[in-house]
Structure 1
Amino acid sequence: MAEHFMKAQQGDLSSLMERAAKHNSTVPFEGYSREDGNIPGNIVVVVSDESVYSFANSDIMEREQLGEDRVRVWVRAGATAFRMSRIRAGEPEDSFTVAMEHIAPPASPRLAGDPTAASASVADEQMEHIAPPPSEGLAGAPSYAGGDTAQVTVPRVLPPLSSVGSHWTESCLGGDTFANNCAHFLSDAFIRAGYTELTTANPYINARCYTYARRPIRARDMWAWFQSRAVRRSNTPTRNTGWWAVFQLNEAAYWGGHVLLLDTDAWRYYGTGYYGTWNQYLYQW
């Protein structure tokens, strides 16, 4: 009897391990689904009113039924697919594998010892009365008298990460939302705090929200930007080490990852969730 029970457990564990291994080389998509009437052998997945995908059934490694006609599918990484979506003329096209703003992330677990969530610090209606931080010169930067003809660009002192926390509203100035808003709302706080480089053409930002606010909306884009700014890095959140910009990732659970701001002195995070069991990438500047 005991031997039979052990074999059953081993079989269940092997099945779970095989399933997890499959997810390591797949990309998840979630939406309403039906057979593709235009391409035999494909299914259509309507992720949102902005994005519609068509995948070959042979490229779908796993399928989970979420409702009568709603599914989550794991598509083989590197598979060729079709996407129909709204675009803005002149903007670069993005790979179909990175539109994670339309896929809801897993629920944020609440584990013992995790930092607590911060509440929104500033209401949207208050922002019109708050001026951005002034532009300041770095210590030792060259200066010129008013009559000099030489023109220089004086570098700005970056606002401290703590100021980003004070501008966290858990929203976007444009008022829109996606299925995943971690980068959307965090980039909004960075911009409100004075990081205006995120509002203009930026080599690390590949997608923005569709309102006039034009906030960056993808966690992996913000991750790349964090790395470009970082002067200190860590892979372990540690109390009383200051403020950190954080990217959390478990590709098997959610390919797009998650971004947040962490105040280790108060042990509080600013973001739409916290995934302490995922891989941690922390950055300071």
Structure 2
Amino acid sequence: MTPQETDLASLIDRSGNGRPVVPFEGYSMDDMNNRDHRLLVQSPESIFSIDKADITREERLDGDRVRLWVTAGARALRVSPCVVNPSSPFTAVREYAPPVAPDGSPGAPVREDMENIPPPPSVYVSGAPTPARVATPPLSEVGERYNARCFGGDSYENNCAHFLSDAFIRAGYTELLPPNDHVAARCPAKRPIRARNMWSWFKAKAVRTSRVVEENTGWWAVFQIDGYWGGHVVLLDSDNMKWYGTAWHSDHNQYLYQW
């Protein structure tokens, strides 16, 4: 080495002239879909298409593997597998993402679909914590949250289920959010908007039912119906004989539910 190359100050000065780089290891070839890119296959779950202009150096490793040194901050195209479902008809998802250095041994799989893999069951040993019991919010809490509107700000000609379901959700009944087998229609804020859907949910939740309104029997979720097929839902505080909803129909058939 020349005296200049061994001079520490010169080496420090030279090291700051280039941008930092990130190593990628795997199998590589030209990207046939983009001639200006190289494909780098780390594993079946992690494939990158990297702009050749961002590759500063290439090293040959054992077994036809390579190490590509990529400029930090460069944008690479990453291809990852996904599970086919009605909302995602693709078998692979492409998205721009900053390059990520390999984690662990060369070519270690990078799994990005763990939400589709069932987790192992819980294992309990002596002294381990036990599952918490999730308390069901009282119906009185729903009454406190009722404000005759929806969190999303939208409104329809008929809002009985819409506004009541909003109060239920804000009171803690997040089970009404998707997915819920009882709910077939929602507003943009994901609130159920059909009284019959809420009725179905009431029936599934109930531990006590009644067909008549009686004073001082607590809070009830109520479905009312006559000739109007869609029906009507409302919340009743029978201790104070107050209702929460868009209307009360005393002349309708009454279906009351408690839990």
Give the TM-score normalised by structure 1: 0.46
Q: 1:229 aligns with which of 199, 202, 205?
A: 205
Show the counterpart of 1:121. Answer: none
1:267 matched residue in structure 2: 241
**Partner of 2:197: helix, strand, or coil?**
helix
Structure with the larger RCO, 1 or 2 (CA within 8 Å, 6+ apart): 1
Report the Cα distance in structure 2 between the residues aligned to 1:153 and 1:276, rounded to whole angstroms.
Answer: 44
Q: Moved runs in structure 1, 4+ residues, more than 2 A?
A: 143-148, 152-155
1:186 partnered with 2:170: no
Q: Distance in 1 between matches of 2:195 and 2:160?
A: 7
C-alpha spacing 1:261/1:153, structure 2 compared with 1 (3 Å):
same
User: Which residue does the alignment assign to 1:132?
Assistant: none
| Whole-angstrom CA distance in 1 between matches of 2:212 and 2:218 | 13
| Contiguous gaps of at least 5 residues in structure 2 | 1-85, 88-122
Q: 1: distance between equivalents of 2:231 and 2:258? A: 19
RMSD: 2.4
Whole-Å Cα distance in 2 between the matches of residues 272 and 248 of structure 1? 12
CA distance in 2, matches of 1:153, 1:282: 32
Residue 247 of structure 1: aligned partner: 223
Q: CA deviation at 1:156?
A: 1.6
The 5 A counterparts of 1:157-196 are 157-196=135-174
Matched, 1:276 2:250: yes
Map Cα deviations across residues 166-220 of structure 1 (whole Å, 9 max, x no partner): 000100000000110000000000001000101120010111002xx21000000
Aligned residue-pair number: 140
2-structure distance, mates of 1:184, 1:278 = 20
Matches of 2:187 and 2:218, distance apart in 1: 30
Match for 2:154: what amino acid? D
> 3-state DSSP class of the match of 1:255?
coil
2:188 is equivalent to residue 204 of structure 1: no
The CA distance in 2 between the partners of 1:196 and 1:224, in whole Å, is 16
SS at match of 1:273: coil
Normalising by structure 2, what TM-score?
A: 0.51
Distance between the aligned counterparts of 2:124 and 2:174, measured in 1? Answer: 25
Identity of aligned residues (%): 57
Q: Deviations over 1:65-110 (max 9, x none)?
A: xxxxxxxxxxxxxxxxxxxxxxxx85xxxxxxxxxxxxxxxxxxxx
